Structure 1
Amino acid sequence: MNEMLSRAADRTIGVVRGIRDDQLGLPTPCAEYDVRALLGHLSWVAAMMAALARKEPVPPADTEPAALQERVRDMVAAWADPAAFEGESPMMGFPMTVVFQMGLGDLVVHGWDLARATGQDYEVDAETTEAMLVYVEQMAPMARQNGVFGEEVAVPAGAPPFERMLGLSGRDPAWKP
């Protein structure tokens, strides 16, 4: 599973490196965040997910976008330890395998958000797409109830799996700035 996380990290970091300063104020498909705020959110999520994987206290919220790349790499390193997948997260009350999927989902979906907002490509491999589709299908009702996902966006019958996953997560696969 860590290979999927590593690939997602590489893709998302590639997008982050391609963001220009003049794009930081652009809207994203994640309506509550512009590009700068989404970078900060993802930076803190990566730090939180690394701490959870190591069974350490979650650091205080710190949405420093400049730390994002380092924090994503640390997150990947933390989940490389097989012990990270053991047990349940006291903070979240989920099995650690689900916490891992949450972190992977944040990298993949927010990586797509950032790419879409800044006019970059974002291709996800078939293995990660399938894992994310299964995860989102299972978590969508609870995630919507808790305000983590938006309302489902209908996608055409026969849409590719990644677009179906985006729609289930409340994203419009055809979103444009």
Structure 2
Amino acid sequence: MTTESAHDPRPLLARALDQAGKQVAAVGPDELGNRTPCADYDVRALLGHVVSVLRKLARVGAGGDARDVPDVIDDIADDGWVSAFTRARGEVERVWADDGLLDRTVELPWAALPGRDVLEAYTHEFTAHSWDLAHATRRLAELDPDLGAQALDAFSKFVRPEERGEQGPFGPVVPVPDDADVYTRLAAYLGRRP
């Protein structure tokens, strides 16, 4: 077994989900209509997307098709987001507790990857969406800079600026000062306007 194959991405995913869960729990009813940096998403829709991503991650881990889950879950009551997130996270943790799944090829709509790579990709997505929620609700000081640095490093390798445009989840890179904090640089790299 190589060092690379011995790497377990689940602890880092748990940290990213802890951070996302804190952001979800902090959202007040008066903030659900706030705009987010994600095009076409207010806070309510972004919460629905975060829950959807958890459900997709559980689905693909169990051998299902992520396309069976809508991109935004919209049937959750305004006071039900924390329990929906917690239930979906629990299902992800249950499915992905199987060590064998880390090296198994998992089919995603955009690629077929080893399970450990899938978890790393989604770790960085949850980190980015934590920033989106924190930005929309003005709670930026509560974010883990190490998670932000790892997400920025990963996105820099796999989401090349020349491969994106105005359409899709990542817009053109937005210029920011060189001394900007890591989450500002991450958001700008993903095409958000911090």
Give the corresponding residue for 1:104: 123
Distance 2:54 2:163 in 1: 19
Distance 1:129 1:80 in 2: 25
Q: 1:42 aligns with which of 31, 44, 50?
A: 50
Give the corresponding residue for 2:179: 158
13-22 or 153-162: bigger deviation? 153-162
Q: Say whether residues 1:82 and 2:99 are aligned partners.
A: yes
Percent identity of the aligned residues?
Answer: 28
- Structure 1 residue 39: deviation in Å? 0.6
Q: 2:158 aligns with which of 139, 150, 153?
A: 139
24-33 or 88-97: bigger deviation? 88-97
Q: Which amino acid aligns with 1:85?
A: L
Q: Which amino acid aligns with 1:10?
A: D
Q: Say whether residues 1:60 and 2:69 are aligned partners.
A: yes
91-100 or 11-20: bigger deviation? 91-100
| Kept in 1: contact 2:65–2:107 (CA 8 A) | no
- Structure 1 residue 111: deviation in Å? 1.4
User: Is the alpha carbon distance of 1:114 and 1:166 closer, same or farther for their aligned partners in structure 2, counting shifts above 3 Å?
Assistant: same
- Structure 1 residue 103: deviation in Å? 1.3
| Kept in 2: contact 1:42–1:107 (CA 8 A) | yes
Give the corresponding residue for 2:15: 7
| Structure number with larger C-alpha Rg | 2
Q: Flag structure 1 segments of 5+ consecutive residues without an equivalent.
A: none
- Structure 1 residue 69: deviation in Å? 2.7
Q: Which amino acid aligns with 1:93?
A: A
User: Is the alpha carbon distance of 1:125 and 1:78 closer, same or farther for their aligned partners in structure 2, counting shifts above 3 Å?
Assistant: farther
Q: TM-score when scaled to structure 1?
A: 0.83
- Structure 1 residue 14: deviation in Å? 1.2
- Structure 1 residue 148: deviation in Å? 2.0
- Structure 1 residue 35: deviation in Å? 0.5
Q: Flag structure 2 segments of 5+ consecutive residues without an equivalent.
A: 1-8
User: 1:138-176: CA deviations, max 9, x gaps?
Assistant: 222287367121111112123333332221111233xxx
- Structure 1 residue 137: deviation in Å? 0.5
- Structure 1 residue 77: deviation in Å? 3.9
